[in-house]
Amino acid sequence: MTPVSVAIPTLDGALELDRTLAAVRAQDVAAEIVVLDSESTDGTREVARCHGAAVHVLARRTFGHGSARNTLMELTSGDRVAFLTQDAEPAGAGWLRALLAPEAALTYGPYRARPGAGASLRREYAEFFDALPRVWTAADLPDPPMPGPATFAGSANLCLSRRAWSAV
């Protein structure tokens, strides 16, 4: 197994994906890159291949957010898998290293709106993600466990251990 894989589901995102994959390739940690494309018609798969990504195709009609990420876990070989979306661009060359730094089953980082994003998106991201980083433990979960701050993780900037995924 490789230490880390970067997994990205795509659909007609060639323009944004090019920027995202360039930023992934600029990381100070080498990673396997795997793209799962939902039958794009805009050259998305070609862009991914130009950046050295392994490209797999999923029928658009069968796409589901959770099932696509499970499929990406099956297609990757990393001990840990960092998930991005086609429009989530790592902020700097240390992005992947920061996600890998804690010995945790799951880590995720903040989202920052790209330049030119609307005010409502910038405000939403700032309000939710400005409190990061935060470390949650099992003791932080409500009893019984239910959705809430200690169970939220956005998969546009997330790293998951294969061992934890397999256990769940």
Residue partners of 97: CB distance under 8 A and separation at least 6: 27, 28, 29
pLDDT given for residue 134 in this prediction: 65
Q: Can you spell out the DSSP letters for 63-131?
A: --HHHHHHHHHHH--EEEEEEE-TT---SSTTHHHHHHSS--SEEE----PPTT--HHHHHHHHHHHTT
State the Cα–Cα distance between residues 57 and 139, nearest whole angstrom.
Answer: 40
% the chain with pLDDT above 70: 95
Lowest mean pLDDT among 2-16, 68-82, 89-103: 89-103
pTM above 0.75, yes or no: yes
Q: pLDDT grade, residue 121 (50/70/90)? A: confident
Q: pLDDT grade, residue 21 (50/70/90)? A: very high
Q: pLDDT grade, residue 22 (50/70/90)? A: very high
Per-residue model confidence as pLDDT tens digits over 89-99 = 888 899 999 98
φ, ψ dihedrals at 62, nearest 5°: -100, 0
| pLDDT above 60 (res 1) | no
pLDDT given for residue 131 in this prediction: 61
pLDDT given for residue 167 in this prediction: 86
| pLDDT above 90 (res 112) | no
Amino acid making up residue 6: V
| pLDDT above 70 (res 132) | no
- 74 burial via Cβ count (<10 Å: 0-12, 13-18, 19+): exposed
Closest CA to 98 of 112, 86, 108: 108
Mean pLDDT on 102-131: 79
Q: What is the dihedral of CA 117, 119, 121, 125, to 10 degrees?
A: 110
φ, ψ dihedrals at 44, nearest 5°: -55, -45
State the Cα–Cα distance between residues 90 and 157, nearest whole angstrom.
Answer: 8
Q: What is the mean pLDDT of the chain?
A: 88
Higher per-residue confidence, 2 vs 41: 41
